[in-house]
Amino acid sequence: MSRQRLEWGLLACLVLAAVILMVVAARAPEAARAPEAALLSMTAVFFALVVLGLVVVMAFDLWGKRQADLEVLAGGPDKDQVQSSEAFGLVFLAALGLLYMAFGVEAGWRIASQTGDIDDWWSAIFSLAMPGVVMSTVLSDKFRTRQAGALPKPADELVIHFRRHALVWSFRATLVALAALYVAGLYDGRLAVAGAPIVFEAAALTAALRYWWLDRAASHG
């Protein structure tokens, strides 16, 4: 099935990206000289491990739904299948955003320390791209179909309910992340700049996971 191959392929890409991030962080030459760089490297490894954990959870979910996917293959994807695919895609984008966020945090630290260059600026700004895509979907009242060239349709009440519920959880996570960032900024102002991508990613990842979990619970009755 093409959709299943795509989803398993996306998970494989996440695993590869997480492994590459851990290798790069472990081999960072400045980590041996600066305690701050060592802390950033450990942070990158931590988020890479979080991504690997999410991959395991999503892989179990895909494996559990393989029979249902085969049953609807002959008749084509129905609305519930499209919604489940959207929820899965949001979690994938949010998990991918964790990897970009790790680079954004490191770039933000160098910029705040006034040692950054133009590449660091690009990394810091681009780290907000994935959270932006996820949150724009959660905040939208439209539903995209799989038909090529088809315009988004108004989402039904259940989808809107799932998205609003996910948004509430996202808001709570944002408040917690902002409080932690404020305390860190009191200790060192550079941490407030470097940690800003974490707040955006925490909001997006929480919303995506909650949306995916609600859809999963609904699909299992």
Computed over every residue of the chain, the mean pLDDT equals 77
User: E strands along the chain, which residues?
Assistant: 142-143, 153-154
Q: What is the pLDDT of residues 54-88, one digit of tens each?
A: 788 778 777 776 655 555 555 555 555 667 778 87
Q: What is the pLDDT of residues 104-147, one digit of tens each?
A: 888 888 898 888 889 999 989 998 999 999 999 888 877 665 55
The pTM of the full predicted model, rounded to 2 decimals, is 0.76
Q: What is the pLDDT of residues 176-189, one digit of tens each?
A: 889 988 988 888 88
169-177 LR contacts (CB < 8 Å, sep 24+): 169/206, 169/207, 169/210, 170/135, 170/138, 170/203, 170/204, 170/206, 170/207, 170/210, 171/203, 172/206, 173/202, 173/203, 173/205, 173/206, 174/199, 174/202, 174/203, 176/202, 177/202, 177/203
